[in-house]
Structure 1
Amino acid sequence: MIYRAGHIVLKPLSHALYRPTIRGAENVPATGGVILASNHLSFIDSFAIPLAAPRKVRFLAKDDYFTGGGPRGAVLRELFEGIGAIPVDRRSSRAAQESLDAALEVLGEGDAFGIYPEGTRSRDGRLYRGRTGVAFLALTAAVPVVPVALAGTQDIQPVGARFPRLAKVSVTFGAPLDFTQRYAGVPQGRARRAVTDEIMDAIAALSGQPRADTYNELPPEASGPAIAV
């Protein structure tokens, strides 16, 4: 109910303000578990994808967004509940495993789950090496992966900016990737690395971003699971 109400309000509002260009929405399967794996440029990304996708997409979000006080805390809580975000405690020693468990539950229920294989947003515009959590989910849940490319969201709320700005945004959904049969019998570690690299190649082809051969690390003041926002 909260998701539907939030979507009804936020989708037309965001489209009116930002007029996003949406490509390939037909590539998102209408039903069944599916992973939407995207590049990550901004805090806004977890709103841009659900508001552009043709079906409900669940993302992980820091539990701080659900527990803050004052007017700002109330607004953030309503926004994240409105898009169906799943709170996760990034300070927990089991945060990474709890995040994967939450994602598998979403996929097991036949829903769409959004993930950023880079782990945290890019601060220089490059596409960083993907972490293998996305491959673990795809292979364990036996679901397809739709690569997603965002552009322009970094201009809505640049790193360090307190308030959103108007900017041109595009969301591109690529053709689904199915790994369920191709990696049968391949050792788990090798399969997860290969699947992750294939997903990142697909994202790069859609986004046109320059590649970085390293992992994108969380800033010193942050900590938490690589698959969380």
Structure 2
Amino acid sequence: MTQEIEFKIFTKNKGFRLSVNIVVYSLFFIGIGIAYLAGEYLDNSTIENLGQGVGILACMLMIYFKITQASKRKPLNGNLNNKLRFRTREIIIDDIRIELNEIKKIEFYIGDYFDKWESQAPGDFAPGRTNGTSNICELTLTNGHKTKVNFQLMFENEFLKMRELLLQYYSENKIHFLKLIEYLGIDKYEEIQEFKNTLPPTLVTVAQPFNFVKFDPI
């Protein structure tokens, strides 16, 4: 039976997107600008007060968005309509089927998941929680062509359900050993050696060039 693991592909919308930061900073500088020009050149207190009111509104919005930042998710700004499917002998991107023997290298960039908190700079008022769509799968084909897609993870360590398929791809020399242990979250010397002991003899042979030297603390 063919094993299959499926994720949702994230396709980003094209074109301009109005963000929280653009709105609040635009209101702030427009308000301050109107108030300054009205007071300096027009001598019109009504327009000056209007400008000050817009500036105060912008400041209130900044405070509101900063307070609610930790509980709000970023706008998706795209869709999750397509599927990324991993199988033992092939990878399917939407309706494009790529046989494993057509692939030279498989790489992943994993670090995002749904509702993950991302620290924001003091002057950034955008929502602080993500949609889990910044993960990347990049395939380098034997013909030199590269294919890259973003995909969504719903919770931390969800990618570990790919373990058996990652081992399969590693056995086919599609994934470097150092990348394999990175994807599996294995980073300590003892854990690496223990993991190598769990590999079948044929895979241990492949991993031998990547022995790690353990240094005793001084």
For the criterion TM > 0.5, the same-fold answer is no
- Whose strand fraction is larger, Structure 1's or Structure 2's? 2
Structure with larger Rg: 2
Task: Give the TM-score, by structure 1 length.
Answer: 0.25
Task: Give the TM-score, by structure 2 length.
Answer: 0.26
